[in-house]
Structure 1
Amino acid sequence: MMRKYDIYLINEEVAQHYFGQESKLFHLFLDETRALEDTKDIIKKQIEYISSPISVIELQQRLLQSFKHRTDYFFFDHAHRIHLTEPYSKAQLFIFPNYIHMVSDGSFEAETMFFEVMRKISPSFFALDVSTYRYGWLNPIKQVKLV
């Protein structure tokens, strides 16, 4: 079954605050997809406020460096692709300044390889698929307990 994710880099302060309350973040993105034109702009501004811009060049370089020796990795026409045959798994990554779009199929191997590279850049990448109500941090944020 094909999976589609949008991945946002959430401001670290916001990410810390919403750790354990991920459904609230998800519903903001869900509301944006359902909103009428007049409220859509307000919700977009809220999403811009809580997210950080993605360094497209840095992420491109990290991906190219991480996978340069792999024969199952391709970078063509602004798309990063991993296509594994055993187990069958493929993922495509498209990087934009405000979010990343991923399409994957088969097992989770290929998408996990991309997630590993992103986790090393920041602990506050938040992935969501509004069509299936799936969402979560790529790297769970450790909660600091103050005594």
Structure 2
Amino acid sequence: MRHYELYIFEDDVARQYYGQEAKLFYLFLEHEKARGAQKEILRRQIEYITKPIPSLLLQQKLKQNLMKLDGYSKKKNTHVIQMIERDCKAELVIGADALYLTADGTSDVETIFFEILRKCEPTFFAFTIEDHRYGWLKPLKQADMLRTKQV
């Protein structure tokens, strides 16, 4: 079973850390391990560089894109896709500060969620602590990077 956390980063942070995604991941990893005052400091840093989740927009986009899909169900802030023929299932929970995706079986089903989310926000960052995997859902293009530096 795979567990992902997804955050939306402030645009300037995403541009600044493009190509240095490991630094962002290790901030979350350290937060996961920290205790007491250290954990609170790291939480505040994460809060400062991330945006709140636009839950209403995401609810609409997910429902709009998935309602015709067999195996899709929704209950409050939880969206589930189950593909029995492919033996896979994914559950996406929309929180105030992050999204939480749990997937089992092939990666097809989580990819469906990722594709929808990347169209909603350009700076979604996903990671899985257990596997040390991380990255942008929609990588910034080099041309975008140059354009923003010239402004």
Q: How does the TM-score come out when normalised to structure 1?
A: 0.94
How far off is 1:140 after superposition? 1.1
Aligned counterparts, 1:96-115, within 5 A: 96-115=95-114
**Separation (CA, whole Å) in 1 of partners of 2:25 and 2:140:** 16
How far off is 1:77 after superposition? 4.7
Aligned to 1:129: 128
What per-residue deviation string (whole Å, max 9, x for no partner) do you get for residues 31-75 of structure 1? Answer: 101112111111000000110011111101111111111221100
Unpaired stretches in structure 2, ≥5 consecutive residues: none
Aligned to 2:29: 30
Matched, 1:72 2:71: yes
Matched, 1:89 2:101: no
The structure with the largest helix share of the pair is 2
Deviates more, 1:63-72 or 1:81-90: 81-90
Aligned to 1:145: 146
- 1:141 alignment partner, SS class: coil
Deviates more, 1:72-81 or 1:35-44: 72-81
What per-residue deviation string (whole Å, max 9, x for no partner) do you get for residues 96-142 of structure 1? Answer: 11000000011111111111111111121001111221111111111
Unpaired stretches in structure 1, ≥5 consecutive residues: none
Aligned to 2:14: 15
What per-residue deviation string (whole Å, max 9, x for no partner) do you get for residues 7-31 of structure 1? Answer: 0011111011101000000010011
- 1:126 alignment partner, SS class: strand
**Separation (CA, whole Å) in 2 of partners of 1:97 and 1:137:** 19
**Separation (CA, whole Å) in 2 of partners of 1:51 and 1:31:** 16
Aligned counterparts, 1:27-66, within 5 A: 27-66=26-65
The count of corresponding residues between Structure 1 and Structure 2 is 146
What stretches of structure 1 move > 3 A for 4+ residues in a row? none
Compute the RMSD of aligned alpha carbons. Answer: 1.4
Q: How does the TM-score come out when normalised to structure 2?
A: 0.91
